[in-house]
Amino acid sequence: MSESTAARPPGKYRHEHKYALDYLNYLSLRQKLQVIMHPDKHAGTDGKYLITSLYFDNCFDKALKEKLHGVSMREKFRLRYYGEDFETVFLEKKQKVSGLCLKNSAPLSYDDCLRILDGCHRELLDSQIPLIAELGFKMQTQLLRPRSVVRYNREAYVYPAGNIRITFDSDISTGLSPDWFFEPSQTPLANPVLIMEVKYDEFLPEMIRHIVQPHCTRLQAFSKYASCRSMA
């Protein structure tokens, strides 16, 4: 399983930082990190795997505006699958509080995904899985609806101490409609960008910090969802 291919119970808040990189910095960082970190064991032969997500928002673009305005307490829902495995789709809820992130997930059937794409939420309310029932409730009361597809390639490295995960996301593209969630063809961002994410629990080991910091002077409030919404 990759980073989210199992249902997650309510977990713990983690630190999460994002940096925009140029290609030379990426190559230098990757070379150094490969010495002390392990690649994600579920990556393909090129060291990467494909992620496709479908983000939810309401008719007032609440999630988008909270992200753009830097609201310290916010949440977002998304559907996600890996590679071309349409039969293994996950509902995820990501919460952010003062810079710390918490992610919970639950598996969804392909049929449930199709019902969600059609705007049907009544059956979700009866789910025995709290996260799915919560989405159904918020689709009914807050008018959450699928809004934007985000697809990208991820290269990930892990380090056990501190539960460290460093990822490089590239080839970001979007679907012009939520109906494109299961479609192989997407539209690349107008301004291609390579994003590094650094995620950890309580601490980041010094040897990793010394590798990352010289290359990452630009802490970015980058949002794949916001960037893809701008293409719509």
pTM above 0.95, yes or no: no
User: Terminal CA-to-CA distance of the chain, rounded, Å?
Assistant: 32
CB 217 within 8 A of CB 21: no
pLDDT at 87: 85
Give the model's confidence band at 223: pLDDT under 50 very low, under 70 low, under 90 confident, else very high: confident
Residue 25 clears pLDDT 70, i.e. is over it = yes
What pLDDT band is residue 10 in, cutting at 50, 70 and 90? low
Q: How many Å apart are CA 141 and CA 7, to the nearest integer? A: 25
3-state secondary structure of 190: coil
May I ask the CATH architecture of the domain 14-229?
Alpha-Beta Barrel (3.20)
Quote the pLDDT of residue 122. 86
- Predicted confidence at residue 12, as pLDDT, reads 84
